[in-house]
Structure 1
Amino acid sequence: MFTGIIETLGEVTNLTTEGSNLHITITSNITSELKIDQSVAHNGVCLTIVATKNQEYTVTAIAETLEKTSLDTLKIGEKVNLERAMILGSRLDGHIVQGHVDQTGTCTSILEKDGSWVFSFEYDATLNNPTIEKGSITIDGTSLTVVNSSKNTFSVAIIPYTYENTRFGTYKVDSIVNLEFDVIGKYVSKLMANR
């Protein structure tokens, strides 16, 4: 379980394919605090640490994860949003995030607005993942509030801190991102569909 509050940015240092698996090696300033078998969210995708060495660690993404997320587009040198699992009893500063990406989306516009930014995204609505105005959305692991929600598009407003300390500063139009929709909204939507 995660909160969607990004702890730090890591950097991809190696990508190795083994069968249908992708081994991703990352350097970060929290590596010394990580251990094998620990879960860490990478751009919103919960992955298990399989090796650590000095300031680098490695995680493995299986075929299903690669099909449903944007991890297969990673490149060496690319920045990655990182968040360790939440500690039970701590404040929930973001919202409830499972680290289970529902689908990807595409950035359709970036508007600078007097010191902040509005990012708009489009996604495949046939997968029945709803956004709700003022509801929660997780983009590459970052917990955000939805604005301008419609059937297959939504926008989020980004403050300078988030822009500078997450991947938002690297996005361009057509950037592909991981989306995890609000867990409560997904359950309510599923229940209503089954009535």
Structure 2
Amino acid sequence: MFTGIIEAMGKVSQVQPHSGDLRLCIETGGLGLDDVALGDSIATNGVCLTVVELTGRGYWADVSGETLMHTTAGQWQPGHTVNLEKALTPQTRLGGHIVSGHVDGIGEVVKRWGDARSERFRLRAPDELAKYIAHKGSITVDGISLTVNKVDGAEFELNIVPHTLKCTTMDGYKAGTQVNLEVDLLARYLERLLLGERAAEPSEDSGISLDFLTRHGFNRA
């Protein structure tokens, strides 16, 4: 588990294809590795990667086909900058929100503009994730815990202060940049809980609809 508070920026140093998936070497820059062991997790642009080898300057990690399908990791080339966060400990300050490192899908930057000393971004999420994104709720973008300022369908806006721009990869974002999105974990569990006993039914029959909510007393209009 992670908090979405970025500890350092690193970069991809090597990309090795392996029978349909990848092995990546990440140089960690200012991220200390003295307390990292083989098998530990490091969030890399929001993707929870397992350390399989330590190099002294960074780590190697395997990236499965499933991860390549749902994240931007397949686009990474040597020199690509990434946000890094080590897994939280019982002593970690939970300054962001609970982040699993399990990316839900790829979003895209639609627009960027200045607002006083901040920068504002408008992003588009995959349609299937729109229901989990709420005004003033939390969302993880490339591993960064952020607050949603506005929602319009599958698009949402973020207000980014100078410190976040300086300490993450967001200063390099422009229209068309693709990013990893992880929605609020609690929203996903709430959806599942609302299904009740229907959660055990095949997925094609277990979606939450207006009719479902009305029959279970959630819609009294």
Other-structure match for 2:6: 6
Pick aligned residue for 2:102 from 100, 103, 107: 100
Distance in structure 1 (CA, Å) of the matches to 2:113 and 2:75? 25
Q: Is the 8 A contact 1:116 1:160 kept in 2?
A: yes
Other-structure match for 1:30: 31
Distance 1:98 1:32, change over 3 A: closer
Distance in structure 2 (CA, Å) of the matches to 1:115 and 1:128? 29
Letter in 2 for 1:104: I
Letter in 2 for 1:100: H
The alignment partner of 2:181 has SS state of: strand
Distance in structure 2 (CA, Å) of the matches to 1:128 and 1:160? 27
Q: C-alpha displacement at 1:53, in angstroms?
A: 1.5
Other-structure match for 2:174: 172
- Structure 1 runs (4+) deviating above 4 angstroms are none
Residues 101-130 of structure 1: CA deviation (Å, up to 9, x unaligned): 011100000111111111111022135652
The alignment partner of 1:148 has SS state of: strand
Distance 1:121 1:91, change over 3 A: same
Distance in structure 1 (CA, Å) of the matches to 2:191 and 2:33? 41
Mean alpha-carbon deviation: is it higher for 79-88 or for 184-193? 184-193
- Rg: which structure is higher? 2
Letter in 1 for 2:70: K
Distance in structure 1 (CA, Å) of the matches to 2:131 and 2:100? 15
Letter in 1 for 2:80: E
Higher strand content, 1 or 2: 1
Mean alpha-carbon deviation: is it higher for 119-128 or for 79-88? 119-128
Q: C-alpha displacement at 1:88, in angstroms?
A: 1.5
Aligned pairs, number: 195
Q: Which has the higher contact order (CA 8 A, sep 6+)?
A: 1
Letter in 2 for 1:178: N
Q: TM-score by structure 2 length?
A: 0.84
Residues 20-48 of structure 1: CA deviation (Å, up to 9, x unaligned): 22111111133542321110000111010
Distance in structure 2 (CA, Å) of the matches to 1:12 and 1:140? 15
The alignment partner of 1:161 has SS state of: helix
Are positions 1:137 and 2:177 aligned together? no
Show structure 1 runs of 5+ residues with no match. none
The alignment-based identity, stated in percent, is: 36
